Structure 1
Amino acid sequence: MRVLLLGGTSEARVLAGLLAAEPGIDVTSSLAGATSDPRLPPGRTRSGGFGGAAGMAGWLREHRAGALVDATHPFAATVSRHAATAARTADVPLLALRRPGWTPGPGDAWHWADTAAHAAALLPALGRRPFLTTGRRDLAAFAALPLDFLIRTVTPPPPPLPARHRLVLGRGPYPLDGERALLRAHRADVLVTKDSGGPAAKLAAAREAAVPVLLLRRPPAPPGVPAAATPEAAAQWLRDLR
């Protein structure tokens, strides 16, 4: 059975490894190509877009795919919509692999925003020295704010950027000691991030330092798509299809 795996996340790499060792399953991981030097998963890979839902459906038909797994980032809403449409068009079973979102614990002071623009509107009332970890594509929403930003991205972000900022480049997972050190060095008084799920040492560091957190909510998932919370559960779903 040929499987197209829309990847780019740590869960997608784990699933690709499980499927590469699975008899009777031929997996191709599709990477968006948004970052240079990506971490390549086991098995076949392809890079770049499909040209929308129609192009993805064409790929599924051309390669006689038996299943499609959307293991993209929880905020990759456009790709997830295209996957849902392509699966319906090509009549291919679709599964979403989504890590659970975060939930607040004792000592957390969390605030929620629906979009980056909404977060930018709320931010001045929460702090003056934000630690911003929303990713490179959402930074323009914060560019006009007269705050002292610490910004972390994997690759250098495009303009516009806030006038007062310090940029740190790095790829996770990030250790707790490092997150503590960044908060202290910047004297951060608010953490801004997305509800991505997964390991979150920055949330633990913010809790310890009594720093409030401003989180962007996840976009709604396409309706009617079954979901798995772990790579192991996704692998079992694929085994059951055969």
Structure 2
Amino acid sequence: MTRLSVNVNKIATLRNARGGNVPDLVQCVRDIESFGAQGITVHPRPDERHIRYQDARDLKMVVTTEFNIEGNPIKSFMDLVLEVKPQQVTLVPDAVDAITSNAGWDTLTNKDFLTEVISVFKREGIRTSIFVDPVPEMIDGAAAVGTDRIELYTEDFATEYAKGNFDAVRPYAQCALLAQELGLGVNAGHDLSLDNISYFAQQVPHLKEVSIGHALICESLYHGLETVIGQYLKRLAE
């Protein structure tokens, strides 16, 4: 079964909008895990506009499932990951001022850089994953830099699926097969939702984990966290 990692950035955004500690991020994470989520994802950015670096430290003490920290491997991010030592780090090439992640790595152009960064984390026993577009050359490049997993960037799939173009899943399925052949684990994330998650999980083989935040939190405004997490787990198990 594909595992569900809940990205809690939006909970931190809501907290930060008013100051103080409401909603309590740590308690929310405890509840999310109790509702069945199999992982927690955070994506701290340099301006700490949602997840703060201290949040990652605090959550390390309470997360009982898999803790995944994702972000651009600038020095402050790398120092944080090496301090916290989550089970997984996901490398994302987002710009400092990016609203959200909007592209995968060019694993060919950035081969030397990624190889060096990944080796640092792997020496500390931290599983590495890199954010990539569903392009075979980028999957080949990912294998060459020594990563453990890839995370397929799924925005294009989600956009096309909403238009009724179900064939948009094909590049993801093909890249997942290639990744498996190359010995890479396959994760996926970005704009996956209750509307498209079943189809994606059914069509993309060897899918180990999906990271879902924005859609899950928006859906939970209407249905509640416990209900929505249960619905994701049901769809992933179908």
Normalising by structure 2, what TM-score? Answer: 0.29
- Which is helix-richer, 1 or 2? 2
Between structure 1 and structure 2, the one with the greater Rg is 1
